[in-house]
Each structure stands twice: as C-alpha cells, then as structure tokens.
C-alpha cells in the first residue's frame, strides 16, 4: 500500500489553508483572551468630577449677568449640555439634547434630564 505519498499529499494540500486560518484567527483569539481578564476602564472622567463640573457650569449659567453677550450665554449653555450628555451616558439616562434645537423644547428637556439624573443620585444644583 502506498499510504506514505497519499498522507504527504494530504498534509501538503491542507497545510497552507490551516496556516492562513491560524494567522487570521489566533490574533483575535489572543485579544479576546487578554481582554477577558482585564477590567473594563471607564470611558469618561470620574463621576465625582463630572458632577462637580455640572454644578459649577450650572451655577455659572444661573449667575450670568443680564448684560452678558449672546455668545457667552450660548457657549455656557452648550458646555452645560455637553456635560449633561456625558452624565446621561454614565448613568444610562435617555436624552434628546442633541436632537432638539435651541429654545423652549430644549429647555424642557434640560429640566427633564436634570430630574432624571437627580433620581439616580446625581444632583445638579
């Protein structure tokens, strides 16, 4: 029986496919294995710093003098909204701040988001 040449042919025919498969799958498997043991790092700043920043910008927004420029008011509101969006992401609160245009509806959404954050323990004021 000539099993030697047949076995050698099978190894030569299959080896490249196996090597390419390993080259594609092994790095992903190693990344998964390393990531499985590593604790998940938070994406943003600590929640305490975020809450302090929210309170600071909220206070600045409330204490804007009546003669403040429209640009300063708009910039402060945008900074406050960005912090609210970050806080919503951290404590998993749904919001529509990015969708709503500046005006009454957005102001109502800010109030709703502030209340939702307060219910989850993150007081803004």
- Residues 103-117 have pLDDT tens digits of 899 999 999 999 999
Confidence of residue 19 (pLDDT cuts 50, 70, 90): confident
The DSSP call for residue 100 is S
Provide the sign of the torsion angle of the four alpha carbons 24, 26, 27, 33, taken in this order.
positive
Q: Kindly state whether residues 15 and 56 are assigned to the same domain.
A: no
Q: Kindly state whether residues 58 and 82 are assigned to the same domain.
A: yes
Q: List Cβ<8 Å contacts ≥24 apart for 61-67.
A: none
Q: Kindly state whether residues 109 and 73 are assigned to the same domain.
A: yes
pTM metric for this prediction: 0.66
For the packed helices 70-91 and 47-62, what is the interaxial angle rounded to 10 degrees? Answer: 150
Helices in the chain by DSSP H: which ranges? 3-37, 47-62, 70-91, 104-119
Whether the predicted pLDDT of 39 surpasses 80: no
Domain assignment of residue 59, given as a range: 47-119
pLDDT, residue 114, reads 93
Q: Kindly state whether residues 34 and 53 are assigned to the same domain.
A: no
């Amino acid at each position: 029986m000539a099993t030697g040449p047949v076995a050698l042919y099978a190894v030569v025919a299959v080896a490249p496919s196996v090597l390419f498969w390993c080259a594609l799958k092994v790095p992903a498997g190693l990344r998964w294995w390393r990531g499985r043991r590593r604790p998940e790092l938070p994406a943003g700043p600590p929640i305490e710093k975020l809450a302090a920043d929210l309170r600071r910008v909220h206070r600045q927004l409330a204490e804007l003098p009546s003669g403040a420029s429209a640009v300063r008011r708009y910039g402060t509101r945008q900074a406050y909204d960005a912090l609210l969006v970050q806080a919503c992401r951290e404590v998993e609160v749904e919001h529509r701040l990015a969708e709503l245009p500046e005006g009454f509806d957005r102001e109502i959404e800010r109030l709703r988001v502030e209340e939702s954050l307060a219910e989850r323990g993150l007081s803004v004021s």
